[in-house]
Amino acid sequence: MIRIGVDTGGTFTDFVLRDDDRVAVHKVRSTPDDPSRAILQGLAELGMPLTGADVVHGSTVATNAVLERRGAKVALVATAGFEDVLRIGRQTRRELYNVFVADRRPLVDADLVVGIRERVGADGSVLEPLDDVALAALGARLREGGAEAVAVCFLHSYINPSHERAVTERLERQGFVVSASHRVLPEYREFERWSTTVVNAYVTPLMAQYLGRLEQRLGGARLRIMQSNGGSISAGRAREAAVQTILSGPAAGAVGAQALAAASGYPRAIAFDMGGTSTDVTLIDGVIGVTPESTVGDFPVRLPVIDIHTVGAGGGSIAFVDPGGALRVGPRSAGAEPGPACYGRGDELTVTDANLLLGRIEPGYFLGGRMALDVERARSVALTFGARLGLDERALADGIVRVANANMERAIRVVSVQRGHDPREFALLAFGGAGGMHACALAESLDMSTVIVPLHAGVLSALGMLLADVTKDYSQTVLAPAANLDPGALERTFAPLVERARADLEAEGFRPDATRLELSLDVRYVGQSYEITVPCGAGFREAFDQRHARLYGYSNPSRPAEVVNVRVKAVGVTEKPALPRAPLDTAPLPEPIASRDAWFGGRALRTAVFRREDLRPGMGGEGPAVLAGAQATAVVPPDWSFTVDRVSSVLIKRQRDL
């Protein structure tokens, strides 16, 4: 069977193809105006028949729709008197000392927020019946306002969704695309539940159109979409619940990073994915961290997502001088068009241009020689830019790289130090087209001793899609004292979700022996506002106290606790490509394809450039060296050495730690 992972990035679209005989990787320039054009181009260039193939796709369509405000025109139908929940939010200030900070601009226009008289109590009882007269006139009012999608969000619908169901069924019969909060997120906290539902309504029509068009163009291929939780779902499900795909590309990268780090003997790793427009960082402590809370733009999305921290620092991030005269890098990116100056069309200096000017990219072997870089154009732009700061091209390039590194180092500290983990106890697994060029400098700053750069680092997110299982998440608010939930009570509480999860996996074609259910609880001390997720089991209370102590430095086992939500993660185990292992080769390094001056710490050092594909398991050497690959480049600085392990990953270590 042919399986293809496709990752659409801001600059490049990546492909990993697996069939019975081979693994093939490929890369093409992205087409931001229509991502499917790059996908179809890359699939055609791979030259494999698509009939019967499985295509797993990580999409940025939903994310970009929210960030760029180009989703559907959404109406919100809410409980009368609570029409302004999304506008009020949590009344927190994004910039505490800025009295002129702009208000959060909701995704729903004020004239499309409709209040309906109804009321369900916190215990699920109906306090006020649904206003049938207002309901009868609702469809005409929404159509008159030009609504393309509708979010239905009532108070306490997580415990009694009868009113939401009645409104949803009527609007769907009238032809509206409807997202109901009891379907999207049956949990308490109105603001987060309503925000997540509105985001889903906002992106679903665009995602449905995109996926429908892509499925049609793929012909006989089966299309699956990567989710933010690290699993995939069918394209049909993604068309209905597009919010679940918000962070699909970075999530796939984390899945691939976990597999490659474990294969190299490092189950504890920090995944560092530096692409063209951004850098995504994830901590892997045996398992990938998952959080139920995330934010896209200004909008909370409360769904299980891989715990990824993203900063606007990538190879295409543009350098500029701020009003105070300081050098800054990102978050604005040159993207695929026009791209960095060295791509031949851009006029602004980027991180990629800086690395090229520092001798850390081999211009004649970019993308394996399929794309030549324009060194003189990058130098000309740098000279003009540097004149404003009184810097020559090398000093400017070094400054750009150091500023970008500082931004990325802060991101790594967020997922490690700020969450109670010592980065020195982890390896840094670098991927993305630019990750290997910056990883050692970041590891040095964080006192980390090991960097891992996989063979297919530039397309690891696409590989992760082939390694991902089919995953579905279910949750329900219970708000019950922890002391009241003995094993029997827990089993009864979970029963409806477990039954639904098994039925959904069976509908996806998974036999019982190919499924796995993971049960967890959201627990907090009575009186707290937020909770911690722990595995369900007889000792869940002790596990909560221990995790609380790790996160916050204290715990109180004598204090009453309560279970807020129950969660079920349903996993359909897919067939995964085996990671090839090879015997270690004692042959010396091949001859370098070039030797050039590269700048490290302000010094020009003669640096060998090796073709990454020529390095076999067992080979190794010392820095400085540049390992130029067909999808990514790795830089080995002075005082670091490298070896290739059995799974063809490059292990780079500080020499003083050997």
- Per-residue 3-state assignment (H helix, E strand, C coil) for 81-142: CCCCHHHHCCCCCCCCCCCCCCCCCCCCCHHHEEEECCEECCCCCEEECCCHHHHHHHHHHH
Neighbours of 80 (CB within 10 A): 15
Cα separation, 437 vs 319, whole angstroms: 18
Question: Six-digit token pair at 347?
Answer: 């006029």
* Amino acid sitting at position 347: D
Which residue has 């998952």 as its token pair?
290
Nearest to 11 by CA among 392, 461, 423, 359: 461
Q: Which residues contact 393 (CB under 8 A, 6 or more apart)?
A: 357, 379, 382, 383, 386
Intervals of the chain under pLDDT 70: 21, 657-658
Q: What was the pLDDT predicted at 21?
A: 64
Cα separation, 339 vs 315, whole angstroms: 10
Burial tier of 312 (Cβ tally within 10 Å: 0-12, 13-18, 19+) = middle
Q: What was the pLDDT predicted at 332?
A: 85
DSSP tag of 245: G
Q: What was the pLDDT predicted at 586?
A: 81
* Amino acid sitting at position 64: N
Q: What was the pLDDT predicted at 191?
A: 93
Question: Six-digit token pair at 640?
Answer: 């670091």
Nearest to 347 by CA among 322, 312, 305, 382: 382
Q: What was the pLDDT predicted at 658?
A: 61
Cα separation, 647 vs 286, whole angstroms: 19
Domains along the sequence of the chain with CATH: 3-67+207-226+237-244 (3.30.420.40), 74-203 (no CATH), 469-572 (3.30.1490), 594-657 (no CATH)
Contact 11, 277 (CB under 8 A): yes
Buried-exposed string 168-204: b where 16+ CB fall within 10 A, e elsewhere:
beebeeeebbbbbbbbbbbbbbbebbbbbbbbbbbbb
